[in-house]
Amino acid sequence: MNNTTEKLVATSKATLEAAQALATKAQADVEKLVDLNMTTTKTALGESFAHAKAVLGAKDVQEVAALQAGLAKPMAEKTAAYAQDFQKIVAGASEEFAKAAQANMADVQKGFAALMESATKSAPAGTESAVAFFNNAMAAGQNAFVSAQNSAKQAVEAAQANFTSVTAQATDAVKKATKSV
């Protein structure tokens, strides 16, 4: 194999390994979300049946009303806790994916630059303008990717900040509402 082919193969292997690591991480994060949802569902189902039994065992309308009123506070608190747990998992996954993508893109850019340098050195005479055009196009593409990546990162950060703010406000509202009950 020549030097250019070896560099291309090495870059491809590194990219494949990075993709495998990201897929493994994504699977672990999905597993966390599934565990959260299963735990939440189990708890909600058990509490729903317990509440239904309590309502059916109520002696009068006032007891039923008290049971119904007492259900709102824990339900709201659990919903807020679920939202916070969900947000933590998603935010952690997003942050790790962004870091991995940035690191992988830097490696791919280095590998591609080395590949292009090697190809430029072995290009036939008279193709300098075509090689220069290709190099410029690749640089423009990389710059566009970096710009899009930065915009996406800012959007994710803004969405996470908004979600955190809304969750905190909902939690505070539940705490205030339950104090007055």
Closest-CA residue to 104 (of 14, 24, 13): 14
What are φ and ψ of residue 126, in 5° steps? 95, -5
How far, rounded to the nearest angstrom, does the alpha carbon of residue 71 sit from its chain's CA centroid?
Answer: 33
Contact 95, 159 (CB under 8 A): no
Show pLDDT as tens, one digit a residue, over the chain (181 residues).
567 678 778 878 887 888 888 889 889 999 999 999 999 999 999 999 999 999 999 999 999 888 888 887 788 888 888 988 998 898 888 888 777 777 777 777 777 777 777 777 777 777 778 778 877 887 787 788 778 777 777 777 777 777 777 777 777 776 676 666 5
CA-CA distance, 89 to 154, in Å (whole number)?
A: 19
* Nearest C-alpha neighbor of 92 from the set 35, 40, 25, 39: 25
Please tell me whether the overall predicted TM-score, pTM, comes out greater than 0.85 for this model: no
